[in-house]
Structure 1
Amino acid sequence: MSVLDRILLFLLAVASLCLGVALALIGANVFGPAYVFDVETYPTNIVAIVAGIIIVLIALRFLFYRISRSSPVSDFVALTGEHGHIRISYDTFRQLANRRGAQIKGAEGFDTRIRQGQEGIVVLARMQALPDVDIAAMSREVQSSIKDYVEKATGVTVEQVLVHVTELSNASKQGKAWNGA
């Protein structure tokens, strides 16, 4: 959820909270007939009070939406071994992916994040590319290399490797890029 969506959700929740409280107070005739039109019918008062309470509860739920959500349930992948359970942390996957990604020619400033997928893990790779490198070919090489390396090292299925090339690396550094040919 983006920052704008969170702000809009917060504003909507506050407005709904005010509306719900006002509706419940009007239904209970707290304001009196001098301030609001006089609603004398008994069922209408009950409906207004109940509707106001429901709106308040929904508004409170959305107001405290992010607070009630805890951090990710697990930051590891659990496997079953011959002699018990095996846990491999996301940091281990991240280190393996970073190690392999840093070895790719043309890739600089390599960093990854790991997410849980449907049937395995998803690797999010963020990197800079050296100038005069075929970025599409290098990105495909990063994807296949990281996928094969992590799967071989851990036995965990890598569903996707998403590559995000952020920018060109500083051209003054002569690194792993091809010189000439």
Structure 2
Amino acid sequence: MAKILDRILLFIYSLFIGALSVIAILLLADVIPIDLSVIGQRNLYIAAWVVAVVLLLLSFRFFYISVRRDRQSLSSIDQRTEYGDIQISTETIENLSFKAASRVRGIKEIKTRIRITDAGLEIMVRALVDGETSIPALTEEVQKQVHDYVEDITGIPVSNVSVYIANLVHSPVIKSRVE
């Protein structure tokens, strides 16, 4: 809600400043006849022109920002079917990747990132492992699970799944007491 209010205020502000700067430019160009003897010095006259033009340019920029769509928050993959359009957010695909990687035994802490390419999705998985399973076998299983799960659920081709093993998870050693 605050974002919408900010955009509305920016829109009104840009219109107001734009109108004031246009009036100032018209006054300075003697299109609107008025006595400007106050700006008798040449330096003040040039400064008034510069300020009016800069304000006009800023108002154009603010107007553009207030009416444009925010593309970053709309990060999604669009598909068209015979029934209509489908949009799947990249956050959804990241969560699906997380879910698939979490199912692999030996993987502990996971972070996923998605990149959309022409060939399909590129999924990057960063994980910590328990150190009790072969890392090559573990990463291959993660790649297969994530690839198959994301493709099955979304129907979007996955071109690449890269796995980065960041470290081992150190589990606390519990010594048992024998009495």
Shorter-normalised TM range: 0.5 to 0.7
The 8 Å contact of residues 129 and 167 in structure 1, kept in 2 or not, is answered as yes
Deviation at 1:74, TM superposition (A): 5.5
* 2:130 maps to 1:117: no
Which residue of structure 1 aligns with residue 100 of structure 2? 100
Q: TM-score, length-normalised on structure 2?
A: 0.54
Which aligned segments of 4 or more residues in structure 1 are displaced greater than 2 angstroms? Answer: 70-74, 171-174
Which residue of structure 1 aligns with residue 156 of structure 2? 156
Which residue of structure 1 aligns with residue 130 of structure 2? 130
Deviation at 1:119, TM superposition (A): 2.0
Where does the alignment leave 5 or more consecutive residues of structure 1 unmatched?
A: 1-69, 175-181
Which residue of structure 2 aligns with residue 140 of structure 1? 140
CA distance in 1: counterparts of 2:161 and 2:88, whole angstroms: 18
Deviation at 1:172, TM superposition (A): 2.4
Match runs of 1:40-59 below 5 Å: none
The 8 Å contact of residues 131 and 171 in structure 1, kept in 2 or not, is answered as no
Aligned-residue RMSD, C-alpha = 2.1
Percent of residue pairs identical: 28
CA distance in 2: counterparts of 1:84 and 1:166, whole angstroms: 42
Where does the alignment leave 5 or more consecutive residues of structure 2 unmatched?
A: 1-69, 175-179
The alignment partner of 2:112 has SS state of strand
Deviation at 1:132, TM superposition (A): 2.1
The alignment partner of 1:85 has SS state of strand
User: Structure 1 74/145 Cα, relative in aligned 2: closer, same or farther at 3 Å?
Assistant: same
Instruction: Deviation per CA, 1:73-95: give whole Å up to 9, x if none.
Output: 95111111222110000011011
CA distance in 2: counterparts of 1:169 and 1:71, whole angstroms: 38
Structure with more helix by fraction: 2
* 2:88 maps to 1:88: yes
